[in-house]
A and B are shown apart, each in its own frame.
Chain A
Amino acid sequence: MSGTTTTVNLERKVLSENDRLAAELRSEFARHSIFCLNLISSPGSGKTALLERTLASFPKDKRVAVLTGDIQTDADARRLARYGFPVRQITTAGACHLDAKMIVRALEGWDLASLDTLFIENVGNLVCPTSYDLGEAAKVVLLSVPEGEEKPLKYPGIFFKSKLMVLTKVDLLPYVPFRLDDAIANARSIQPGIEILQVSNTTGAGIDDWLRWIEKR
């Protein structure tokens, strides 16, 4: 007994529920003129350190807040809270990325009207966060010099989707076999228009360029 076969055209995103929530977040951010960045990198590339430098440089009345994601612990939130701005930890309890629903939940009770900049520090991972829109204005990928210049070729998705690549730990350039020109060429081979900055969170080199990049948005 064989039945008839029907083919239904679907033509929609697999993560349409996440995308729906992300679109709601994006319009909320637009309504309050909030500039939101989603920071993504391997574990240990310096996302938290870059945010520490960033928050330390802001005047006390800067309308900024941070959501920081980790699989376990609130260590990052405690590090970042020292600068006096609102910080919330999102503990994913195993999940390797943040999704839009986690952001909606984490923002509950916050007065968005009191903010104009929101940093989201994603879980350290170059793969999974790529797929999840969080309503951000831009994804920013960090690549630390000791990781090697091939990262953009090995993990093309995130370099394809990011507006900016921040090369971190550039103070280590004299000590590690990292070919800077190749790293830049590799990133541009994935996405010709990607913007690139070089910073050292240890010495502070390049931090002004990063702050200017944020301000001009």
Chain B
Amino acid sequence: MHEVGIANSIMEAVGTEMRPYGGARPVKVTVKVGAMSGVDRDSLSFCFEAITRGTLFEGMMLAIEDTPADELELSSLELEQP
């Protein structure tokens, strides 16, 4: 049940990474989650949706790439610029 913390770290990272792109809207973040990482994908998706609700990250997509080892890495961030 540490997926809330993981989801929060992802949200914070998105906030930091989009700063240089002023005004842009976050659309999708892609995260690599390894089979040996100890992170449950469904639980992570659920937590991400729950904690982003009511924030400027609400509605953005969390895409999870399955990898074989213990990766837990931010892969890419998609932003929509006005």
Contacts and interface: CB of A to CB of B under 8 A. Distances in A.
B77 A131 contact: no
Interface stretch (A4-12, A83-91, A181-189): A4-12
Contact of B37 (A2, A7, A130): A130
B72 A15 contact: yes
Interface string A107-145: 000000000000000000001111110000000000000
Interface stretch (A54-62, A152-160, A170-178, A199-207): A152-160
A7 B2 contact: no
Interface in A1-52: 1-17
B1 A96 contact: yes
Interface in B37-82: 37-40, 69-70, 72-82
Contact of B77 (A8, A15, A95, A161): A8
A128 B1 contact: yes
Contacts of A8: 17-18, 21, 76-79
B47 to A, nearest CB: 13
B81 A161 contact: no
Interface in A67-103: 95-97
A130 B25 CA distance: 33
Name the residue in B21, B36, B40, B73 with the highest tally of chain A Cβ atoms < 10 Å from its Cβ: B36
Contacts of A6: 21, 24, 78-81
A14 B21 contact: no
B76 A9 contact: yes
Contacts, number: 99
A38 to B, nearest CB: 13
Contacts of A3: 24-25, 80-82
A153 to B, nearest CB: 12
Nearest to B3: A128
Given A5-B80, A15-B6, A131 B36 contact: no
Contact of A4 (B9, B35, B80): B80
A1 B25 CA distance: 13
B78 A131 contact: no
Interface string B22-41: 00110100010001111110
Name the residue in B18, B31, B80 with the highest tally of chain A Cβ atoms < 10 Å from its Cβ: B80
A131 B81 contact: no
16 contacts: A3-B82, A6-B80, A8-B77, A9-B75, A10-B13, A10-B77, A12-B74, A14-B9, A14-B13, A97-B2, A127-B2, A128-B1, A130-B70, A131-B38, A156-B36, A157-B35
Interface of A: 1-17, 95-97, 127-132, 156-158, 160-161, 190
What 8 pairs across the A-B complex have the smallest Cβ distances?
Answer: A130-B38, A157-B38, A10-B74, A128-B2, A160-B36, A8-B77, A157-B36, A3-B82
